């Protein structure tokens, strides 16, 4: 049985992820019930906890969508745990070296590829796997390990990171990348100067057979990134969705009163 997310990625189609930092299964479910392909629960900068991720993955999967978890920096124990709880992919921030990439892959893949420990009971239930054996046979291919490239060190080590077996894709964090690119002078996720670097990362990832992903605030840049070869777009953020939706609604209501 192939996982919905890995099948979509392997088909080469564009994949759009909602991004949820609010630790609530209701918010996760609301995001999953939109036209997004998947929902990412953010434990790095978002307020998601082990408990809210447990609840959120259930809510997303029961809404018929695959779930992704972004773990905190270096928390590779949480990567395995997210998979056990039913996540289809894990995004690991600040993968700056081959050692980081190997440690991440080790936590994500069962032997012989890695050293993931057995215990995916919730994943088996939510995924409708027929048996433990069926899960074991598809887990390494279906559980996507996505390494974040967001520093100069990561860029310098990119080809070696891409060569690590068990790393399936890379994910550019454009805010951190802009800080690194400008030597700490600016934070701007669409910094003009760094676009050559952003394009180069996608080109090298694809040449290595790994899929490139990126974080996006403004849908206006998606076509440009797709042109570079990016395939997975994570779109910020649940707080912004609420603020924009509420803002539009109340503005329309106030306008209606004014013009009546
Ligand atoms: C970044 O832009 O640095 C990110 O980590 C996106 O969430
Ligand atoms: Mg970042």
pLDDT at 48: 98
pLDDT at 5: 96
Alpha carbons 52 and 65: distance in angstroms, whole number: 17
pLDDT band at 259; cut points 50, 70, 90: confident
Cα Rg of the chain, angstroms: 18
Contacts of 125 (CB under 8 A, 6+ apart): 86
pLDDT at 2: 58
pLDDT above 60 for 57 = yes
Report yes or no: 120 and 139 within 8 Å, Cβ to Cβ.
yes
At the fourth CATH level, which superfamily is domain 4-259?
Phosphoenolpyruvate-binding domains (3.20.20.60)
Please indicate whether residue 55, judged by its CB atom, sits closer than 6 Å to ligand 1. Answer: no
Question: Mean pLDDT score of the chain, rounded to an integer?
Answer: 97
pLDDT at 205: 98
Each domain of the chain, given as residue ranges in start order, spans 4-259
Instruction: Pick the residue whose CA is nearest to atom 4 on ligand 1.
Output: 173
- More reliable by pLDDT, 157 or 1: 157
Please indicate whether residue 21, judged by its CB atom, sits closer than 6 Å to ligand 1. Answer: no
Kindly report, residue by residue over 161-195, the tens digit of the pLDDT: 999 999 999 999 999 999 999 999 999 999 999 99
% of the chain surpassing 70 pLDDT: 99
How far does the centroid of ligand 1 lie from the alpha carbon of residue 172, in Å? 7
pLDDT at 3: 81
pLDDT at 246: 97
Kindly report, residue by residue over 15-27, the tens digit of the pLDDT: 999 999 999 999 9
Please indicate whether residue 173, judged by its CB atom, sits closer than 6 Å to ligand 1. Answer: yes
Which of 68, 150, 171 has most ligand 1 atoms within 8 Å of CB, for mutation?
150
pLDDT at 260: 79
Mean pLDDT score, 42-53: 98
Please indicate whether residue 169, judged by its CB atom, sits closer than 6 Å to ligand 1. Answer: no
The structure tokens listed for 208 are 């290595």
pLDDT above 60 for 1 = no
21-24 long-range contacts, CB within 8 A, separation 24+: 21/45, 21/46, 21/47, 21/48, 21/237, 21/238, 21/239, 22/46, 22/47, 22/238, 22/239, 23/47, 23/48, 23/49, 23/51, 23/52, 23/56, 24/52, 24/56
pLDDT above 90 for 130 = yes
pLDDT above 60 for 127 = yes
Name the nearest CA neighbour of 146 among 28, 54, 40: 40
pLDDT at 161: 98
């Amino acid at each position: 049985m192939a996982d919905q997310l890995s099948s979509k990625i392997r088909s080469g189609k564009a994949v759009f992820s909602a991004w949820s930092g609010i630790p609530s299964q209701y918010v996760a479910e609301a995001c999953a019930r939109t036209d997004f392909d998947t929902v990412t629960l953010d434990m790095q900068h978002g307020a998601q906890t082990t408990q809210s991720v447990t609840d959120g993955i259930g809510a997303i999967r029961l809404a018929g969508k695959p779930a992704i978890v972004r773990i905190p920096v270096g928390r590779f124990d949480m990567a395995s745990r997210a998979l056990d709880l039913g996540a289809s992919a894990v995004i690991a921030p600040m993968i700056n070296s081959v050692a980081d990439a190997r440690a991440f892959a080790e936590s994500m893949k069962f032997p012989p590829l890695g050293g993931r420990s057995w215990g995916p009971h919730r994943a088996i239930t939510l995924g409708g796997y027929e048996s433990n054996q069926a899960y074991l046979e598809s887990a390494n291919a279906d559980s996507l390990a996505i390494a974040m490239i967001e520093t100069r060190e990561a860029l310098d080590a990119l080809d070696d990171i891409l060569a690590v077996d068990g790393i399936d894709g890379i994910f550019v964090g454009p805010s951190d990348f802009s800080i690194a690119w400008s030597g700490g002078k600016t934070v701007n996720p669409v910094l003009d100067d760094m676009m050559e670097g952003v394009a180069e990362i996608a080109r090298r990832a694809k040449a290595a057979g790994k899929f490139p992903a990126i974080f996006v605030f403004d849908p206006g840049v998606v076509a440009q990134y797709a042109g570079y070869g990016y395939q997975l777009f994570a779109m910020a953020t649940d707080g912004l969705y609420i603020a924009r939706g509420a803002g539009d609604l109340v503005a329309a209501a106030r306008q209606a009163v004014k013009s009546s």
